[in-house]
């Protein structure tokens, strides 16, 4: 819920922009940290969700590690103060240049996604006279019951190695003198709201952790990935994810052997609720069949609705200030200015009757929002405004 003061402040900035509530970010991070500390769990922040400098500073200041998926994310994490022994480099397509840079920075671990990648890291580490820590990303074939575009843990997905390939992985590891297997890694998908999916993940991790122990490997890290979902429908009432319930599932169902650490890679749940995309109404187009609100933000600023049919709550902040019991409500298709028919945030959104210049908030946009912005149609870089 935006206060009158905040709305007045937002009115003075040029739209479109992302508005960050840094207090909410802080509260979210502290809630997560407290819940994780209860079980001695290690949290790595998935930078891909949002690498806005203020967000990164806030996250590193609570002591989380960094989960990176490109050489530039690895560099950014270190630049923003994440400790290099808490930096993990994942991703299905790491280039030699990226691997070499990460080796030079002595990061904590590479999450490796194929046998061939093991061989490449072994060679590159050897050439530098180094030994690289690796964790094997295993595809657990657990259905996350989330949108199929953001499901990752099924055999049909490109990520990780499949269970039937593990004997080959074990053989390769025994023959790679420059690799040190420290962990097994999993990630079943994103925006997961049914915690049972994580219970099923625990069962698979337990079996695979036993298998590696039987093979004589000392698995120090059980990395169970990220994926905890947030409430896109009630961004005010339910603005901090239930971290306590999430970690409790792992405490109840994951078998942790002596000396093992449990690592998490959370992205969305840490940052989604702390930002909204703020846009202005450029034009109101009333038709016979449809009414359109044309905003000055579109798929170039927030692509989630167009790419994943994702729901984001849409509010007219200007009318919120003056809404009375007599206010008229109208259904609008809320669209952007981009030359694509899919450039629509949502159809048939019920809003107070809106006029040119009204300020619109598209909520829960802190994760996979600003980072997925593009310059399509030669659009300007989207700006950020902060609560303090």
Q: What does the block give as tokens for 191?
A: 């925006």
| Interface ranges with ligand LLP (CB under 6 A) | 46, 49, 67, 90, 150, 152, 187, 190-191, 225-228, 265-269, 304, 308, 368
DSSP class of residue 101 equals H
Q: Which of 228, 268, 273 is nearest to 22 (CA)?
A: 273
Tell the smallest beta-carbon distance from residue 318 to ligand LLP (Å).
28
Please report how close the Cβ of residue 310 comes to ligand LLP at its closest, in angstroms.
6
**Count of positions (residues) in the chain:** 388
With contact defined as beta carbons under 8 Å apart, do 221 and 108 qualify? no
Task: Determine the straight-line distance between the first and last CA of the chain, rounded to whole angstroms.
Answer: 17
Q: What is the smallest separation between the CB atom of 190 and ligand LLP, expressed in angstroms?
A: 3
Phi, psi of 370 (to 5 degrees): -55, -40
Short-list 323, 372, 241, CA closest to 7? 323
Cα 104 to Cα 150: distance, rounded to the nearest angstrom: 32
Nearest-CA neighbor of 190 among 233, 246, 155, 147? 147
C-beta separation of 111 from 90 below 8 A: yes
**Given 109, 202, 274, 339, the catalytic residue:** 339
339 is annotated as an active-site residue: yes
CB of 8 to ligand LLP, least distance (A): 31
Cβ atoms of 382 and 52 within 8 Å: the answer is no
Closest approach of ligand LLP to the CB of residue 143, in Å: 15
Residue where the block lists tokens 């690592």:
263
Which residues, including other chains, have CB under 8 Å from residue 329's CB and lie 6 or more apart?
350, 351, 352, 353
Distance CA 234, CA 224 (A): 27
Exposure on the CB side of residue 335, measured as CA atoms within 13 A:
20
Q: How far is the CB of 73 from ligand LLP (least distance, A)?
A: 12
Q: What is d(CA 105, CA 110) in angstroms, rounded to the nearest whole number?
A: 12
Report CA-CA distances (Å) from 136 to 43, 124, 182: 18, 18, 9
Q: What is the Cα–Cα distance from 150 to 187, expressed in whole angstroms?
A: 11
**Residue 186: closest CA among 271, 90, 50:** 90
Paired with 161 in beta bridges are: 138
To the nearest whole angstrom, how small is the minimum distance from the Cβ of residue 228 to ligand LLP? 6
**Rounded to the nearest whole angstrom, what is the least distance from the CB of residue 68 to ligand LLP in the complex?**
10
Point out the residues that are catalytic: 339
């Amino acid at each position: 819920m935006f206060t009158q003061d905040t709305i007045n402040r937002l009115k003075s900035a040029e739209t479109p922009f992302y508005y960050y509530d840094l207090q909410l970010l802080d509260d979210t991070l502290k809630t997560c940290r407290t819940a994780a500390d209860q079980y001695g769990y290690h949290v790595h922040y998935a930078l891909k969700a949002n690498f806005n400098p203020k967000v990164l500073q806030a996250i590193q200041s609570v002591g989380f590690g960094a989960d990176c998926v490109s050489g530039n994310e690895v560099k950014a994490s270190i630049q923003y103060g994440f400790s290099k022994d808490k930096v993990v480099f994942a991703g299905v397509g790491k280039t030699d240049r990226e691997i070499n840079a990460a080796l030079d920075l002595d990061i904590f671990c590479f999450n490796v996604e194929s046998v061939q990648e093991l061989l490449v890291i072994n060679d590159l580490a050897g050439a530098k006279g180094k030994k690289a820590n690796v964790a094997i990303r295993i595809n657990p074939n657990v259905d996350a019951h989330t949108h199929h575009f953001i499901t990752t843990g099924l055999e049909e997905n490109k990520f990780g190695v499949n269970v039937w390939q593990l004997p080959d992985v074990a053989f390769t590891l025994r023959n790679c003198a420059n690799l040190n297997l420290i962990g097994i890694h999993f990630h079943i998908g994103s925006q997961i709201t049914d915690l049972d999916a994580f219970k099923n993940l625990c069962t698979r991790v337990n079996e695979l952790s036993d298998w590696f122990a039987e093979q004589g490997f000392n698995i120090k890290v059980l990395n169970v990935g990220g994926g905890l979902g947030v409430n896109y429908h009630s961004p005010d009432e339910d603005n901090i994810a239930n971290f306590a319930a999430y970690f409790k599932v792992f405490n109840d169902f994951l078998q942790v052997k002596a000396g093992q650490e449990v690592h998490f890679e959370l992205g969305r749940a840490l940052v989604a609720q702390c930002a909204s995309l703020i846009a202005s109404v450029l034009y109101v187009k009333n038709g016979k069949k449809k009414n359109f609100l044309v905003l000055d933000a579109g798929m170039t600023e927030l692509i989630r609705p167009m790419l994943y049919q994702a729901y984001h709550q849409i509010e007219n902040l200007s009318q919120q200030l003056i809404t009375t019991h007599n206010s008229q409500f109208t259904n609008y298709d809320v669209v952007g200015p981009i030359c694509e028919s899919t450039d629509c945030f949502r159809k048939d959104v019920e809003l107070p009757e809106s006029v040119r210049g009204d300020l619109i908030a598209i909520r829960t946009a802190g994760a996979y929002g600003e980072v997925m912005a593009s310059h399509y149609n030669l659009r300007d870089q989207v700006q950020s405004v902060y609560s303090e």
